Amino acid sequence: MRRITLTQYLLEQQRDAGIIAADLRLLIEVVARACKAISVAVSKGALGGVLGAAGTDNVQGEAQKKLDVLSNEILIEANEWGGHLAAMASEEMEGPHAIPHRYPRGEYLLLFDPLDGSSNIDVNVSIGTIFSVLRAPEGAGAVDERAFLQRGRDQVAAGFALYGPTTILVLTVGNGTVGFTLDRELGSFVMTAPDIRIPPDTAEFAINMSNMRNWGAPVRRYIDECLAGKDGPRGKDFNMRWVASMVADCYRILSRGGVFMYPRDAKHKEGRLRLFSADGNATPAPICRDWVSPGRNLDYVQTS
């Protein structure tokens, strides 16, 4: 069986399919190498001295872990000198990171959450890196925050790395969704899921049940229907899976179907999952446009 590496896949998307340009291929490869470096740091855990709090907060007001800060530095240092980017933005930084003048400037913008689910770091539960690539506005001088506020459909590539028992990279360049597993002996991402499609049905849901007392009536009704099992209106038994790492929960949905919810409630009135549009308002991704009206926060990621 032919083993297709990430580099081979990207070259095919560039040369044969004409889906991506050479500079975008190189940018994705750099991001993947950074994810490998983060995977190594994660795997060392306490032996690498990367566990515990960093003593600072990120822009969301969340306490940063040492590995949050390290992962952010790895992604910046790997990407700022290659000539593919105009700027970067991260959950761990107050504003955009401009490419230093000593390096060439490219036509893309890179956004990332360097370490999603960092509250799980110290207990050795799966965490991940989320990234998105946009085109920088044409003719723009210095890149500010407005350059990053584009529609989700304008992304030229997006994906995430999941650091679990194996390190997995899930990627789309607009031509389907594919998955790769890191072969640690070869140091290469090898394709293991050539055509990821969400299963049409499932018996799993993911939600933080500790917030039940704060939910609105529609959310409570939906979960009550799932919990009612075979005798309820949905006619089957459901299991709950809640990792508290969005990357891990979403990868499970890609693999087995289901729903991941962090709805707005009496405590979190603005919701917890946000996708910002060009006008700065939170709007739903195309996959969710029947679930969330424009201008509201993205409460639901995907349903069966």
pTM for the full predicted model = 0.83
Tell which CATH architecture fits domain 204-288. Answer: 3-Layer(aba) Sandwich (3.40)
Q: pLDDT tens across 18-47, in order?
A: 999 999 999 999 999 999 999 999 998 788
Q: What is the pLDDT confidence band of residue 281, given thresholds at 50, 70 and 90?
A: very low
Among the CATH numbers 3.90.1150.10, 3.30.70.360, 3.30.540.10, 3.40.50.10470, which is that of 6-193? 3.30.540.10
Domain chopping of the chain, boundaries: 6-193, 204-288
Q: What pLDDT is stored for residue 55 in this prediction? A: 57
Q: pLDDT tens across 44-84, in order?
A: 878 877 666 655 656 555 656 788 889 999 999 999 999 99
What CA–CA distances, in Å, run from 82 to 86, 105, 136, 259?
11, 8, 16, 38
